Amino acid sequence: MVIYNSLTDQKEEFKPINEKKVSMYVCGPTVYNYVHIGNMRPVITFDMVYKYFKYLGYEVTYASNFTDVNYKITKAAIDNNITEREVADKYIKAYLEDLARYNCANIDYRPRVIDNLDNIFDFISKLIEKDYAYVVDGDVYFRVKKIKDYGILSNQNILELESGARVEVDDKKEDALDFALWRKSDEGEVFKSPWGYGIPGWHTECVVMIDGIFNGKIDIHGGGIDLKFPHHENEIAQCMALHNHHLANYWMHNGHINVDGEKMSKSLNNFILAKDFIKEYSANVIKISIFKSHYRFPLNFTSELLEDSINIDNKISNALKGANIYRNLNGLEFDFNIKDDIFEKYMNDDFNTPNVISYLLELVKKLNGLVRENNKDLIKVASSILVISDVLGLTYNIDKWNDEDILLYREWLEARENKDFEKADLLRSKLSNKNLL
Ligand SMILES: [Zn+2]
């Protein structure tokens, strides 16, 4: 399979560090407010990546952090007159609820900064020892120019970066490009470090987490395109400084979401929170909307896209309903281990989900035909749809019926055949109430 690697800007054959294993890290949320649907794109995308590797038989270890120490959290705490821990706990809980509601909870490690402060101190101390970092008046900065490939991920050279950095001249730093690993602070919740009181810089936590969980190197590092620079560039620089190797072999970046062609913002009133979206629509609908575009490209969220996704979702759901009736009446089972070559061909090409959605619709058409013919081959086609839906994180009702349900259905068929319409109507409403039709 090939993955588009943002580090080299080309599709590359995926070769894991350890055979049949995948290690994956995705930058998690800063927990100071509720997440919006734009934040859900990486969550949904990398959940699909996780599930596809599982489908292929890989053992996947997936970690994603919580940035629970940050000046934004301190600001939210002051604004609401509560503690930073209360802010962080509240939004971590809300986030985990969102992940569960969207069926994206397959994360093995969810490290928090608050639990990793000693590791962060160790990490920064090592960078200071190796002369890649320096202390100035309680702050610690990273010496960017010591990294010869700095800018490799975002395709910028030091000269370009320097001209962009001059505007924010900071007297304390040796060089405008240097970034903070530790910042002196006495506002709100601060921590005692070897350099005095303050809070850690955001760029360090992810590298420290990857060090702790994966021994400093992973197969895939993911995140939104907006994190490429400076966050991911700075993660690479710190790993290079400490270990003299790249942090991740493959960097995957998802595009952002616009709403009606505009960037989401509170002032434009197009800010859709994940928890609100799901009240009106479903997880299936947002996932289909997201997968109809390739993950690397920007996605324009419109009412037309939503309608189209609802339509696709209904088509899949109805076709499976028909297949499920046949399966229950004939005492058959779906095959959840079925492999589908066409699906794999699309997914192995850098997770080409737009093609997968089109292919799903072809399968749905085929399935409807087979259901009409009462053809037992429908079990195979329905199984493929179910397995593919599962990788995309789409859920459909394929409950197994009990004897009473089967009997009820047979009675309905009989009443229809005997043209006993009154009885048939009664049985029909019973079946619909049980959601069997
Ligand atoms: Zn990160």
H or E element that contains 251: strand 248-254
- Which residues are 62's β-sheet partners? 24
User: 52 C-alpha vs ligand 1 centroid, how far in Å?
Assistant: 23
User: 71 C-alpha vs ligand 1 centroid, how far in Å?
Assistant: 16
User: 197 C-alpha vs ligand 1 centroid, how far in Å?
Assistant: 23
Confidence grade of residue 168 (pLDDT, cut at 50, 70, 90) = low
User: 373 C-alpha vs ligand 1 centroid, how far in Å?
Assistant: 53
User: 411 C-alpha vs ligand 1 centroid, how far in Å?
Assistant: 59
H or E element that contains 364: helix 353-373
Kindly state the average pLDDT of the residues 6-13. 97
User: 206 C-alpha vs ligand 1 centroid, how far in Å?
Assistant: 5
User: 209 C-alpha vs ligand 1 centroid, how far in Å?
Assistant: 9
User: 231 C-alpha vs ligand 1 centroid, how far in Å?
Assistant: 6
Q: What residue has token string 């994603």?
A: 64
How are beta strands 10-13 and 262-263 bridged, if at all? unpaired
- Which residues are 319's β-sheet partners? none
- Which residues are 66's β-sheet partners? 112
User: 364 C-alpha vs ligand 1 centroid, how far in Å?
Assistant: 39
Residue 57 backbone zone (phi > 0: left; psi -120 to 50: alpha; other: beta):
left
pLDDT exceeds 70 at position 165 = no
Kindly state the average pLDDT of the residues 375-404. 97
Cβ-Cβ contacts under 8 Å for 422 (sequence gap 6 or more): none
Q: What are phi and psi of 312, to 5 degrees?
A: -65, -45
User: 363 C-alpha vs ligand 1 centroid, how far in Å?
Assistant: 39
User: 204 C-alpha vs ligand 1 centroid, how far in Å?
Assistant: 8
User: 116 C-alpha vs ligand 1 centroid, how far in Å?
Assistant: 14
User: 9 C-alpha vs ligand 1 centroid, how far in Å?
Assistant: 20
Cβ-Cβ contacts under 8 Å for 74 (sequence gap 6 or more): 84, 187, 188, 189, 199
> pLDDT tens digits, residue range 342-361?
999 999 999 999 999 999 99
User: 296 C-alpha vs ligand 1 centroid, how far in Å?
Assistant: 18
Question: What is the per-residue pLDDT for 273?
Answer: 94
Domain ranges in the chain are 2-274, 281-392, 403-433
**Eight-class DSSP state of 116:** -
Helix (H, G, I), strand (E, B) or coil at 351: coil
Question: What is the per-residue pLDDT for 262?
Answer: 86
Q: Which CATH superfamily is domain 2-274 in?
A: HUPs (3.40.50.620)
User: 229 C-alpha vs ligand 1 centroid, how far in Å?
Assistant: 11
> pLDDT tens digits, residue range 88-137?
999 999 999 999 999 998 999 999 999 999 999 999 999 999 999 999 99
H or E element that contains 200: strand 196-200
Q: Contact at 8 Å (CB) between 203 and 179?
A: yes
